[in-house]
Amino acid sequence: MTPPRYCLFDLDGTLTNPETGIVRSMQHGLSAMGLPEVDHATLRASIGPPLQDVFSRLGVEDVDAAVVAYRERFTEVGMYENEVIPGIPAVLDALVADGWTLGVATSKPAVFAEKILEHFQLDGFFTYVAGATLDGSRRYKADVVRHALDVLGATPEATVMVGDRREDVAGAAECRVRTVAVRWGFGEPDEFTAPEVISVVDTPEALLTVLRETARPAA
């Protein structure tokens, strides 16, 4: 298989820890719909899949209105209740220095992802930020990954995905892209058992090592 030289990163739980901002904004959306508060652990476990799907699973009838309420708070303050995963900037810097082309592939609307990356000074590492559309017409990870590959001109064989949830693994696999899963995000161990997972890593340093190994030509 062709050694990858393109790497797509998930955002939430992979590059940054957005738990506080997302959970509080979900609570705001639920409250706006007159629904009772949901426990923090349940909402934390919901970080990753498309927001429309999350609210639907939580029993919201008017999903579109809940999303609007969520985004009101998220746009004002929630997106900044966030922090970069320690060690990630060094990984990105090393990959760019090694000649990789980096992109972001997130189920978060691209307009929010771009602002978050710029705020935390990560935007300069990425050639393209692929995300969901605000109207939800593109929101599933496979569609986002496919869009990123098209824009970057990357083949699946030359690309690897880095993510923290089963949606990252499954979405990339649908596009014939392999995944390195990270344990510092929101996923559980059983989310990373698919054959398309190259490796599961515990630290950014280990992530860099694995990516460099995948890029080494076969002997």
Q: What is the pLDDT of residues 57-98, one digit of tens each?
A: 999 999 999 999 999 999 999 999 999 999 999 999 999 999
Residue 165: CB partners within 8 Å, gap ≥ 6?
10, 13, 48, 49, 185, 186, 187, 191
Among all residues, which ones are annotated catalytic?
Answer: 10
Question: Could you tell me which of 211, 163, 212, 172 has the C-alpha nearest to residue 195?
Answer: 172
Q: Are strands 101-109 and 16-17 parallel, antiparallel or unpaired?
A: unpaired
Question: How do residues 130-177 score in pLDDT, each as one tens digit?
Answer: 999 988 889 899 999 999 999 999 999 999 999 999 999 999 999 999
Tell me the pLDDT band of 8, cut-offs 50, 70 and 90. very high
Residue 219 reports pLDDT greater than 80: no
